[in-house]
Amino acid sequence: MMEQMLVQGAGAPLAAAGVSVGLIVLLVIIAIVVFVVFITVAQVFKLWLQALSAGADISMWNLIGMRLRRVDANVITKAKVSLVQAGLKITTPQLESHFMAGGRVPNVTRAMIAAHRAAIELSWDQAAAIDLAGRDVLEAVQTSVNPRVIDVPNANSGRQTHEGVAKDGIQLSVKARVTVRTNMRQLISGAGEETVVARVGEGIVAAIGSAETYKHVLEQPDMISKTVLAKGLDAGTAFQILSIDIADINVNENLGAKLQTAQAEATKQIAQAEAEKRRALAVALEQENKALAQFNSAKVIEAEIQIPLAMAEAFRNGRLGVMDYYRMKNIQADTQMRETIGGGEAPASR
């Protein structure tokens, strides 16, 4: 009995000590939580007060949630306040979603406000999609309000003008300026400025090539603009072509004459080659005929050599008499005399 009383007397202080330690730990934890909450609230209190004073629908819990989701609450608050002040109804989750997707919330916000002030139809989803596609939506809106002028050809291309040749062979060099504004509906998937420049340059060359004479182009430079505009070159691009103005046009050279001259020179060389070929064939044929004549002369000489032999054989056989021989000689002498009188060359007597 005494032992139980001693044990109970010793356990009471230990129990009291355990309760006090647990209470202290609990109080410390509560203090830490309160301190953290206080620090967090203190960090976002200014933003919450700013949103509250502007009428923006951003609660304290929204701001704390942004901190936990690692969203820049300062950027979201400023964007929401600007949108509310401009009279646009964009929700806070939309702003947060675009921020977490890697979008440029301030840029899109300014673009939305500029489009609203300029009465341009542009939704938040469309603007966010344009921004995420890598295009500058604010610049696109500014270009819609204030059209931009593009030089054709572009100065960065290294060319100063586009050259075209009229049907009469005269080459013209042209420099144009294209006024465009953004086509918001095709800004995401539409082609860029380079495509517009290339298409306009192609249209300029085609328009010059369809002209009957270069004088027609010089007299009416606007025919180039009208021809190019009629082709609808802005189809499928992020721009709408408002006008095409010819800034400079110059006459270069008569390419048609140069080409005709070159063609005539080539034709002349071909004709000379053909004539040389025919001359060479004629010379070869002449040499062949001379060789054939010499061959036939040799045969004649060979045949004439046989005459004395035949006469000698006729004398031996008695088929030719002496009087016959003299008559033949007289005939030869008479023939030689006649040829001499007639101016011909007398044949050599045998």
Average pLDDT over residues 305-330: 76
Single-letter amino acid, residue 322:
V
Alpha helices in the chain (DSSP H): 2-54, 60-68, 73-86, 92-100, 105-117, 124-132, 137-145, 193-209, 214-219, 222-230, 255-317, 322-341
Q: Which residues are bridge partners to 176 per DSSP? A: 152, 246
Q: Is the pLDDT of residue 4 over 70?
A: no
Task: With CA atoms as reference, report the closest residue to 212 among 180, 256, 268, 181.
Answer: 256
Contacts of 204 (CB under 8 A, 6+ apart): 152, 162, 164, 174, 176, 224, 228
Peptide bond into 221 cis (omega under 30): no
Q: Is the pLDDT of residue 7 over 50?
A: no
Summarize pLDDT for 75-95 with one digit per residue, the tens. 888 888 888 888 888 888 888
Q: Is 151-254 a CATH 3.40.50.2000 domain?
A: no
- Whether residue 303 contacts residue 350, with contact meaning beta carbons closer than 8 Å, is answered with no
Task: With CA atoms as reference, report the closest residue to 91 among 135, 56, 129, 116.
Answer: 56
Single-letter amino acid, residue 72:
D
Would you kindly state where each structural domain of the chain is located, as residue ranges?
25-142, 151-254
Single-letter amino acid, residue 278:
R
Q: Is the pLDDT of residue 35 over 70?
A: no
DSSP state string for 105-153: HHHHHHHHHHHHHTT----HHHHHHHHHTT--HHHHHHHHHS-EEEEES
**Residue 323 vs residues 315, 320, 326, 328, 330: alpha-carbon distances, Å:** 11, 8, 5, 9, 11
Average pLDDT over residues 220-247: 82
DSSP state string for 271-325: HHHHHHHHHHHHHHHHHHHHHHHHHHHHHHHHHHHHHHHHHHHHHHHTSS-HHHH
Between CA 76 and CA 95 the distance in angstroms is 6
Q: Is the pLDDT of residue 19 over 80?
A: no
pTM of the model: 0.56
Summarize pLDDT for 152-181 with one digit per residue, the tens. 888 777 778 888 888 888 888 889 888 888
Predicted pLDDT at 58: 77
